[in-house]
Amino acid sequence: MTMNTLAIALLSLPLAACLADAPGGDATASDPRAGYTRTIVRIAPDGTRTVRQEAISASQQAAEAAELQRAPAGRPIANAVAPTSCSNFLTATKLFDQPNYTGNEICFIGATPQDSGFEFLGNFCRTFLHFPPGRTICARTWQGAIQSLWTGQASLLVESQGGGCADVWGAAVAQATPTACDGVAFDIGINVIVVP
Protein backbone atom coordinates (compact mmCIF):
# COMPACT_ATOMS: atom_id res chain seq x y z
CA MET A 1 0.00 0.00 0.00
CA THR A 2 1.43 3.36 -0.99
CA MET A 3 1.44 6.36 1.36
CA ASN A 4 -1.21 8.12 -0.77
CA THR A 5 -3.52 5.09 -0.65
CA LEU A 6 -3.04 4.79 3.12
CA ALA A 7 -3.73 8.52 3.61
CA ILE A 8 -6.93 8.33 1.54
CA ALA A 9 -8.10 5.22 3.43
CA LEU A 10 -7.47 6.87 6.81
CA LEU A 11 -9.19 10.11 5.79
CA SER A 12 -12.26 8.28 4.50
CA LEU A 13 -12.98 6.60 7.86
CA PRO A 14 -14.04 9.78 9.71
CA LEU A 15 -16.04 10.92 6.66
CA ALA A 16 -17.92 7.61 6.53
CA ALA A 17 -18.63 7.86 10.26
CA CYS A 18 -19.94 11.41 9.87
CA LEU A 19 -22.20 10.43 6.99
CA ALA A 20 -23.60 7.46 8.91
CA ASP A 21 -24.38 9.67 11.92
CA ALA A 22 -25.84 12.56 9.91
CA PRO A 23 -29.58 13.24 10.31
CA GLY A 24 -31.41 11.03 7.84
CA GLY A 25 -28.14 9.21 7.07
CA ASP A 26 -29.21 5.59 7.38
CA ALA A 27 -32.55 5.62 9.18
CA THR A 28 -35.88 5.37 7.43
CA ALA A 29 -39.05 7.41 7.81
CA SER A 30 -40.76 4.43 9.47
CA ASP A 31 -38.16 4.45 12.26
CA PRO A 32 -39.40 6.90 14.95
CA ARG A 33 -35.79 7.56 15.97
CA ALA A 34 -34.83 8.65 12.46
CA GLY A 35 -33.42 12.14 12.38
CA TYR A 36 -33.74 14.86 9.80
CA THR A 37 -32.77 18.49 9.45
CA ARG A 38 -35.33 21.27 9.59
CA THR A 39 -34.12 24.47 7.94
CA ILE A 40 -35.96 27.50 9.28
CA VAL A 41 -36.04 30.63 7.13
CA ARG A 42 -37.32 33.59 9.13
CA ILE A 43 -38.37 36.54 6.95
CA ALA A 44 -38.05 39.93 8.67
CA PRO A 45 -40.42 42.84 7.88
CA ASP A 46 -37.59 44.51 5.91
CA GLY A 47 -37.21 41.39 3.74
CA THR A 48 -33.97 40.08 5.23
CA ARG A 49 -33.73 36.36 5.87
CA THR A 50 -32.25 34.55 8.85
CA VAL A 51 -31.55 30.86 8.32
CA ARG A 52 -30.87 28.23 10.96
CA GLN A 53 -31.07 24.44 11.15
CA GLU A 54 -32.35 22.18 13.88
CA ALA A 55 -32.75 18.43 14.23
CA ILE A 56 -36.21 16.92 14.00
CA SER A 57 -37.18 13.28 14.53
CA ALA A 58 -39.52 11.30 12.32
CA SER A 59 -41.89 10.88 15.28
CA GLN A 60 -41.96 14.65 15.86
CA GLN A 61 -42.72 15.20 12.16
CA ALA A 62 -45.52 12.63 12.33
CA ALA A 63 -47.04 14.36 15.36
CA GLU A 64 -46.95 17.74 13.59
CA ALA A 65 -48.50 16.25 10.42
CA ALA A 66 -51.25 14.64 12.51
CA GLU A 67 -52.28 18.17 13.48
CA LEU A 68 -53.30 18.66 9.86
CA GLN A 69 -55.70 15.71 10.10
CA ARG A 70 -57.39 17.20 13.19
CA ALA A 71 -58.00 20.62 11.60
CA PRO A 72 -61.67 21.52 11.13
CA ALA A 73 -62.76 21.62 7.49
CA GLY A 74 -63.34 25.06 5.99
CA ARG A 75 -61.34 26.83 8.66
CA PRO A 76 -60.40 30.30 7.36
CA ILE A 77 -56.68 30.86 7.01
CA ALA A 78 -55.07 34.25 6.45
CA ASN A 79 -52.96 34.65 3.31
CA ALA A 80 -49.70 35.22 5.19
CA VAL A 81 -46.60 33.37 6.33
CA ALA A 82 -46.75 31.80 9.82
CA PRO A 83 -45.38 34.41 12.22
CA THR A 84 -43.50 32.40 14.82
CA SER A 85 -43.21 28.64 14.63
CA CYS A 86 -42.41 25.86 12.19
CA SER A 87 -43.89 23.29 14.56
CA ASN A 88 -47.42 24.56 13.87
CA PHE A 89 -48.20 22.52 10.77
CA LEU A 90 -51.39 24.46 10.03
CA THR A 91 -49.73 27.84 9.57
CA ALA A 92 -46.12 27.18 8.52
CA THR A 93 -45.12 26.91 4.85
CA LYS A 94 -43.11 23.68 4.61
CA LEU A 95 -41.32 21.72 1.89
CA PHE A 96 -40.07 18.14 2.40
CA ASP A 97 -37.50 16.04 0.51
CA GLN A 98 -39.52 12.82 0.89
CA PRO A 99 -43.18 12.06 0.11
CA ASN A 100 -45.87 12.20 2.81
CA TYR A 101 -44.42 15.14 4.76
CA THR A 102 -41.25 13.34 5.91
CA GLY A 103 -37.52 13.74 5.53
CA ASN A 104 -35.51 16.92 5.67
CA GLU A 105 -37.74 19.98 5.64
CA ILE A 106 -37.49 23.68 4.98
CA CYS A 107 -39.93 26.02 6.67
CA PHE A 108 -40.66 29.68 6.01
CA ILE A 109 -41.91 31.86 8.89
CA GLY A 110 -41.99 35.53 9.82
CA ALA A 111 -43.33 38.51 7.93
CA THR A 112 -45.18 38.20 4.64
CA PRO A 113 -42.52 38.83 1.97
CA GLN A 114 -42.59 42.32 0.54
CA ASP A 115 -39.92 41.65 -2.11
CA SER A 116 -42.16 39.61 -4.46
CA GLY A 117 -41.71 36.66 -2.12
CA PHE A 118 -39.40 34.60 -4.36
CA GLU A 119 -37.04 32.21 -2.64
CA PHE A 120 -34.31 30.59 -4.75
CA LEU A 121 -34.09 27.03 -3.45
CA GLY A 122 -30.42 26.73 -4.40
CA ASN A 123 -29.67 29.30 -1.67
CA PHE A 124 -30.70 26.89 1.10
CA CYS A 125 -28.74 23.79 2.18
CA ARG A 126 -30.68 20.55 2.60
CA THR A 127 -27.94 18.08 3.58
CA PHE A 128 -24.53 18.65 5.10
CA LEU A 129 -21.15 16.96 5.36
CA HIS A 130 -19.41 17.23 8.71
CA PHE A 131 -15.62 17.08 8.94
CA PRO A 132 -13.47 17.18 12.04
CA PRO A 133 -12.67 19.49 13.74
CA GLY A 134 -16.14 21.06 13.51
CA ARG A 135 -16.13 21.95 9.81
CA THR A 136 -19.45 21.62 7.99
CA ILE A 137 -20.16 22.10 4.30
CA CYS A 138 -23.35 22.10 2.27
CA ALA A 139 -23.67 18.83 0.35
CA ARG A 140 -27.06 19.40 -1.36
CA THR A 141 -29.47 22.31 -1.68
CA TRP A 142 -33.25 22.40 -1.93
CA GLN A 143 -33.19 22.99 -5.68
CA GLY A 144 -35.04 20.08 -7.36
CA ALA A 145 -35.68 18.33 -4.04
CA ILE A 146 -39.37 18.92 -3.21
CA GLN A 147 -41.19 15.62 -2.71
CA SER A 148 -44.14 16.89 -0.62
CA LEU A 149 -45.34 20.25 0.69
CA TRP A 150 -47.80 22.10 2.87
CA THR A 151 -48.55 25.72 1.99
CA GLY A 152 -49.78 26.67 5.46
CA GLN A 153 -51.18 30.20 5.59
CA ALA A 154 -49.49 31.26 2.35
CA SER A 155 -50.25 30.73 -1.31
CA LEU A 156 -47.31 29.18 -3.13
CA LEU A 157 -45.90 29.17 -6.65
CA VAL A 158 -43.44 26.35 -7.41
CA GLU A 159 -41.55 26.75 -10.68
CA SER A 160 -38.67 25.33 -12.66
CA GLN A 161 -35.71 27.34 -13.92
CA GLY A 162 -36.81 29.52 -16.81
CA GLY A 163 -40.48 29.15 -15.83
CA GLY A 164 -41.04 26.15 -18.12
CA CYS A 165 -43.07 24.42 -15.44
CA ALA A 166 -45.15 25.94 -12.63
CA ASP A 167 -47.61 24.80 -9.97
CA VAL A 168 -49.79 27.33 -8.14
CA TRP A 169 -51.10 26.30 -4.72
CA GLY A 170 -53.55 28.25 -2.57
CA ALA A 171 -53.33 28.58 1.20
CA ALA A 172 -53.94 25.43 3.27
CA VAL A 173 -52.99 22.99 0.50
CA ALA A 174 -51.31 19.67 1.29
CA GLN A 175 -49.44 17.84 -1.49
CA ALA A 176 -48.20 14.43 -0.25
CA THR A 177 -46.45 13.37 -3.46
CA PRO A 178 -44.39 15.41 -5.92
CA THR A 179 -45.73 16.84 -9.15
CA ALA A 180 -43.52 17.06 -12.23
CA CYS A 181 -42.67 20.67 -11.29
CA ASP A 182 -41.84 19.89 -7.66
CA GLY A 183 -39.02 17.52 -8.61
CA VAL A 184 -37.31 20.18 -10.75
CA ALA A 185 -38.23 23.23 -8.66
CA PHE A 186 -35.78 26.11 -8.98
CA ASP A 187 -37.64 28.63 -6.86
CA ILE A 188 -40.87 29.23 -4.98
CA GLY A 189 -42.98 32.34 -4.76
CA ILE A 190 -44.72 32.98 -1.45
CA ASN A 191 -47.97 34.96 -1.77
CA VAL A 192 -47.11 35.81 -5.37
CA ILE A 193 -50.02 36.93 -7.53
CA VAL A 194 -49.99 34.89 -10.72
CA VAL A 195 -51.62 36.41 -13.79
CA PRO A 196 -52.61 33.79 -16.40
57 or 192: which leads in pLDDT: 57
d(CA 68, CA 154): 15
Average pLDDT, the chain: 75
Which CATH number describes the domain made up of 3-190? 2.60.20.10
Phi, psi values for residue 163, rounded to 5°? 70, 20
Domain boundary assignment for the chain: 3-190
State CA 164 to chain mean position distance.
Answer: 22
d(CA 159, CA 170): 15
**pLDDT one-digit tens code per residue, 142-155:** 999 999 998 887 88
Q: How far is CA 89 from CA 61, 127, 145, 164, 191, in A?
A: 9, 22, 20, 30, 18
Provide the whole-model pTM.
Answer: 0.75
* Range from 87-91, 120-124, 188-192 carrying the lowest mean pLDDT: 87-91
Q: Which residues pair with 128 in a beta bridge?
A: 138
* Range from 74-83, 103-112, 140-149, 172-181 carrying the lowest mean pLDDT: 74-83
Q: What percent of the chain has pLDDT over 70?
A: 67
